């Protein structure tokens, strides 16, 4: 049995423990952090880009379309979490009925 890995989202300062191999985007959804992902996590829109503030990216899943990002930025839908990380999302979406962050 694998140990869980902590992912922290800053802002809003929420953390979640996930199984290794979970993508950052899946971890965000589990934490209630709504990162914009208009391609539904296929790695083609670039909207789910996050900056790693702490930690290292895990395995990066292949994508059919190259998305150019600044250094230190990664697509949340493609990066699997393997060690504890802290990330900052470029685009957060507030769902109706949720309180402002």
- The CATH number of the domain where 46 resides is what? 3.10.20.30
**Is the pLDDT confidence value at 96 over 80?**
no
Which of 64-73's residues contact partners 24+ apart within 8 Å by CB, and which partners? Answer: 67/43, 73/49
* Number of compact structural domains in the chain: 1
**98 within some domain:** no
Tell me, what's the pLDDT at 13? Answer: 85
Helix (H) or strand (E) holding 27: helix 24-31
**47 within some domain:** yes
Q: What is the radius of gyration, based on Cα positions, of the chain?
A: 13
CA 14 – CA 70 distance, rounded (Å): 24
**Is the pLDDT confidence value at 7 over 90?**
yes
**45 within some domain:** yes
**Is the pLDDT confidence value at 2 over 70?**
no
40-80 per-position pLDDT tens digit:
888 888 899 999 999 999 999 988 777 778 888 999 999 99
Confidence of residue 98 (pLDDT cuts 50, 70, 90): very low
- Per DSSP, the residues of 3-15 read PPEEEEETTTTEE
Instruction: Mean pLDDT check: name the lowest of 33-42, 60-69, 82-91.
Output: 60-69
pTM, full prediction: 0.86
- Per DSSP, the residues of 41-63 read SSS-S-TTEEEEEES----B---
**29 within some domain:** yes
**Which range marks the domain in which residue 9 is found?**
5-89
**99 within some domain:** no
Partner residues linked to 92 by β-bridges: 35
């Amino acid at each position: 049995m694998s140990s869980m890995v902590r992912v922290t989202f800053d802002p809003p300062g929420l953390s979640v423990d996930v199984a290794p191999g979970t993508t950052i985007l899946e971890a965000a959804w589990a934490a209630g952090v709504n990162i914009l992902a208009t391609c539904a996590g296929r790695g083609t829109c670039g909207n789910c880009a996050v900056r790693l503030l702490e930690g290292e990216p895990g395995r990066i899943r292949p994508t059919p379309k190259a998305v150019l990002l600044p250094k230190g930025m990664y697509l949340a839908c493609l990066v699997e979490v393997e060690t504890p990380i802290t990330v900052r999302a470029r685009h957060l979406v507030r769902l109706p009925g949720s309180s402002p962050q």
